[in-house]
Structure 1
């Protein structure tokens, strides 16, 4: 890290203290951004951290639906996004009209909406979930209940396979996780046969079937840190490497594929965070008629997960 970067970081730290700004960052953020954050976590823990924020101003270093979730759960707080154009292609693949059309055709179905969705999708859902709690939440519903899970088809199939029940799902996938192939994993295992394999459930089922552990971003980190093994093949966005290395440098990590980098997450920079705090921009708001329904789905998720 150069002198200019250290000065920039110190300026941000001083300014966020002066303005009482609480920074929440996702594990997929740049290393320097994880280091200056007050809280770093996966999408579920970010939502909880927003609710528990000690400050009236929250800066969310993550893609747009993460900032929206904070605004939905904390209507009395100011929520800032340092890069409002940072988005999620999977989240944007479905519309509220798609959900309403499905509900019209299946009026008795329960809509379980992945937190990786825009606010208007959450507002027409019965409950939200994340990769860390999807299985637990779906198990809360009667076995005979018809459930539609959206929008990640791989997460839906992997959860359905694990708990042994059928789920309807929307055809869409994370472009980062879905690119990991069996061939990628086999090649890494051939090069590192003693390594344990930890994958995200947004990966394709064929990759998940070869994993020693499948779970959320935070779950993968905890699995690696709590394991006695020394080598791991990781199938999720490369940002998790930083959290693992900070906690325990004695682990050797290998990405399952070469380019597991989310360009939207990485579009947030220290310079953008500084500008956001200086100018108090961009403030993220959700129309109240959408926020109320979305908040019910998110709060129900938190209750069902506790």
Structure 2
């Protein structure tokens, strides 16, 4: 038996494909000038105000009526006469605006814009602490959900946490929640013993002392502006005990007053945009390009425009939760 020669194999050539355009989820890139024009028109038609946090995208900060920290934006929300509040921030901030303005329409352009810090504490956790500490006081960072605020005695921001804690009666147990790094700053400044919730912002926690030291080596004449939420703050203070920590608004005041011409900004990168706008004659260097909150950056010109068109997504707070949560916010605003 002899082997036969192998048969020739003809390559299989696929037929030309006709694109199925209906399967392609393509969107035309938005025209920024048109988006801005649409937002300006809709802002007037809706009698809307746009308030933006310091960590928002540069183009969002630029079109906002007000840009500020949590305390400043809470104050703006409390006194606005607009019918619609568009909150360029994250969910707990829009909730705070809704608590202060139950009769107004509060919009959060992207409901996915949450907060890793707010997610570390629950209302049940606060209730459990209060059950173990009758008569104790709960001080919560404003970076918390409405139901957590409803279980609290006082709210604070990084700008007034020291002042609020200093106002509390001595000898009373205090729970400070949820940011352990801000709590450490308050304890250093006040000497007050407190129970501290073990929470942190994922962006601030990830900023390392090595990041700060690397920028100091690259910019030896630059002054440090460090936010008290930063996980690196204790070690940096160990090396520079006279260093002051600053809220985001405090950073602006310090940059204006300081003789330094350059600053290393140790917080979320969006703060560089605000500083460059308010102090244009000085130089601001982000501590790390990766210190970026993906939740804050979910707000865009496009979804702000869409929110004004549709008056959605709307953020509301149930009346019973609102009534309880309003008290610690009002106490915070009354103290400063």
Same-fold call, TM cutoff 0.5: yes
Distance between the aligned counterparts of 2:118 and 2:248, measured in 1?
17
Distance between the aligned counterparts of 1:294 and 1:254, measured in 2?
38
Aligned partner of residue 111 in structure 1, secondary structure: strand
Q: What is residue 207 of structure 1 aligned with on the other side?
A: 236
Is the CA contact (8 Å cut-off) linking 2:272 and 2:285 kept in structure 1? no
Q: What is residue 137 of structure 1 aligned with on the other side?
A: 164
Is the CA contact (8 Å cut-off) linking 1:225 and 1:244 kept in structure 2? no
Aligned partner of residue 16 in structure 1, secondary structure: helix
Distance between the aligned counterparts of 2:227 and 2:318, measured in 1?
33
Please report how far the alpha carbon of residue 247 of structure 1 lies from its aligned counterpart in structure 2 after TM superposition: 2.5
Q: What is residue 302 of structure 2 aligned with on the other side?
A: 271
Distance between the aligned counterparts of 1:255 and 1:33, measured in 2?
19
Count of residues paired in the alignment:
304
Is the CA contact (8 Å cut-off) linking 2:211 and 2:288 kept in structure 1? yes
- State yes or no: 1:119 paired with 2:150: no
Higher gyration radius (CA): 2
Distance between the aligned counterparts of 1:95 and 1:244, measured in 2?
34
Please report how far the alpha carbon of residue 78 of structure 1 lies from its aligned counterpart in structure 2 after TM superposition: 1.1
- State yes or no: 1:198 paired with 2:225: yes
Distance between the aligned counterparts of 1:17 and 1:276, measured in 2?
14
Please report how far the alpha carbon of residue 226 of structure 1 lies from its aligned counterpart in structure 2 after TM superposition: 2.4
**Could you state the TM-score of these two structures normalised by the residue count of structure 2?**
0.87
**2:327 aligned residue (286, 296, 299):** 296
Q: What is residue 284 of structure 1 aligned with on the other side?
A: 315
Aligned partner of residue 13 in structure 1, secondary structure: helix
Please report how far the alpha carbon of residue 3 of structure 1 lies from its aligned counterpart in structure 2 after TM superposition: 9.3
Aligned partner of residue 213 in structure 1, secondary structure: coil
Q: What is residue 161 of structure 1 aligned with on the other side?
A: 188
Distance between the aligned counterparts of 1:208 and 1:40, measured in 2?
29
Aligned partner of residue 215 in structure 1, secondary structure: coil
**1:220 aligned residue (245, 251, 269):** 251
Q: What is residue 88 of structure 1 aligned with on the other side?
A: 115
CA RMSD of aligned residues (A): 1.5
Distance between the aligned counterparts of 1:195 and 1:169, measured in 2?
33
Structure 1 runs not aligned, ≥5 long: none
Is the CA contact (8 Å cut-off) linking 2:215 and 2:264 kept in structure 1? yes
